[in-house]
């Protein structure tokens, strides 16, 4: 099992707000990065450094963290946000990288 | 615009060696951690390991005994070798550019560029 834990599936009504979480003790010391993956596509970096969005990522995606939990919030979810979302950070040794198990987001 | 293009054999028999190469086009090769990540069909992402332009490597503990990542800076290429493959190694293998930095005093790592991925199937 991964050192980063994500809920397997989350759903949100179109236009509503949803939070996707990533839990792990290492998140007390390191930031998580977040990736969106749509079927048949490579993952896309959407957040890093807790709150930073790469160029081109809509501002409805935001990040936060508290204690051992990092969160990705989508404010006003769109149909195109339906995807798998993965968090990534360091493992307990600090020497390796690990991914969370992923959260499948369904937009209703 | 920086692009990662990867290639390698897509069908292997058990016990063979997986070999993939990724070329970095249009950007600097130094200053980054060049990474391999895999994703079994229908499953999540798994970090395999990384190499910097100086050749320093770090591997996933679960794959370390079978993994080798090398770099050819003259060609802006890095490569993955995974020995003694089994059906459990069937996955989409992707190369990615890793960035290591410090933000607000906290270490941060992320993958800002990804290759398209190569499906490697291990079957007898």
In tens, the pLDDT along A61-107 reads 999 999 999 999 999 999 999 999 999 999 989 899 999 999 999 99
| Residue A29, CA distances (Å) to A19, A91, A96 in order | 21, 10, 14
**Can you list the positions of beta strands (E) in B1-124?**
3-8, 11-12, 18-25, 33-39, 46-52, 57-59, 67-72, 77-82, 91-103, 106-114, 118-122
> For the residues A9-13, what does the mean pLDDT come to?
98
- Enumerate the residues of chain B whose CB falls inside 8 A of the CB of residue A30: 106-109
Residues A61-96 as b/e (b if ≥16 CB within 10 A, e otherwise) read bbbebeeeebbbbbeebeeebbbbbbbbbbbeeeeb
CB A78 within 8 A of CB A14: yes
Encoded tokens for B38 = 């895999």
Encoded tokens for B77 = 């290429």
**Given CB atoms, is A31 within the 8 Å cutoff of chain B?**
yes
- Enumerate the residues of chain B whose CB falls inside 8 A of the CB of residue A90: 107, 109
A52, B103: Cβ pair inside 8 Å?
A: yes
B88: three-class secondary structure by DSSP: helix
Q: What is the DSSP letter of B111?
A: E
Encoded tokens for B76 = 């802006």
B58, A96: Cβ pair inside 8 Å?
A: yes
- Enumerate the residues of chain B whose CB falls inside 8 A of the CB of residue A45: 110-112
B108, A33: Cβ pair inside 8 Å?
A: yes
> So what's the pLDDT on residue A88?
97
Four-CA torsion B28, A99, B118, B7, nearest 10 degrees: 30
Torsion region of B42: left, alpha or beta (phi above 0 gives left; psi -120 to 50 gives alpha): left
> So what's the pLDDT on residue A1?
61
> So what's the pLDDT on residue A76?
97
What percentage of residues in chain B have a pLDDT greater than 90?
Answer: 87
Give the separation between CA A20 and CA A11, rounded to whole angstroms: 10
- Enumerate the residues of chain B whose CB falls inside 8 A of the CB of residue A100: 44
A31, B108: Cβ pair inside 8 Å?
A: yes
A42, B116: Cβ pair inside 8 Å?
A: yes
Query: Which runs of consecutive H residues, i.e. helices, occur in A2-101?
Result: none
Which residue would you say has higher pLDDT here, B102 or A22? Answer: A22
CB A26 within 8 A of CB A89: yes
In tens, the pLDDT along B53-96 reads 889 999 999 999 999 999 999 999 999 999 999 999 999 999 99
pLDDT at B105 over 90: no
Please report, in angstroms and rounded to a whole number, the separation of the first and last CA atoms in chain A. 30
A69-74 β-sheet, strand order: A18-23, A69-74, A61-66
In tens, the pLDDT along B21-61 reads 999 999 888 899 999 999 999 999 999 999 998 899 999 99
Nearest to A99 by CA among A70, A67, A65: A70
């Amino acid at each position: 099992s991964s050192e980063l834990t994500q809920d397997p599936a989350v759903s949100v009504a179109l236009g509503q707000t949803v939070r996707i979480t990533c839990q792990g003790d290492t998140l007390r010391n390191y930031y998580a990065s977040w990736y969106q993956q749509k079927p048949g596509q490579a993952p896309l970096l959407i957040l890093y450094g807790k709150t930073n969005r790469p160029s081109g990522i809509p501002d409805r995606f935001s990040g936060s963290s508290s204690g051992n939990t990092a969160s990705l919030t989508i404010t006003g979810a769109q149909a195109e946000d339906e995807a798998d979302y993965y968090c990534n950070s360091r493992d307990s040794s600090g020497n390796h990288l690990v991914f969370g198990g992923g959260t499948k987001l369904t937009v209703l | 615009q920086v692009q990662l293009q990867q290639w390698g054999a897509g069908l292997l028999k058990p016990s063979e060696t997986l070999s993939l190469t990724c070329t970095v086009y249009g950007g600097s090769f130094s200053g980054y951690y060049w990474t391999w990540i895999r994703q079994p069909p229908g499953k999540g992402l798994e970090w395999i390991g990384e190499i910097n332009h100086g050749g320093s490597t770090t591997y996933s503990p679960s794959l370390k005994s079978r993994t080798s990542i090398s770099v050819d800076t003259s060609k802006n290429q890095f490569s993955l070798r995974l020995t003694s493959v089994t059906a459990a190694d069937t996955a989409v293998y992707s190369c990615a550019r890793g960035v290591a930095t410090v933000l607000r005093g906290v270490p941060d790592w992320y993958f800002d560029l990804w290759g398209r991925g190569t499906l490697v199937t291990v079957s007898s």
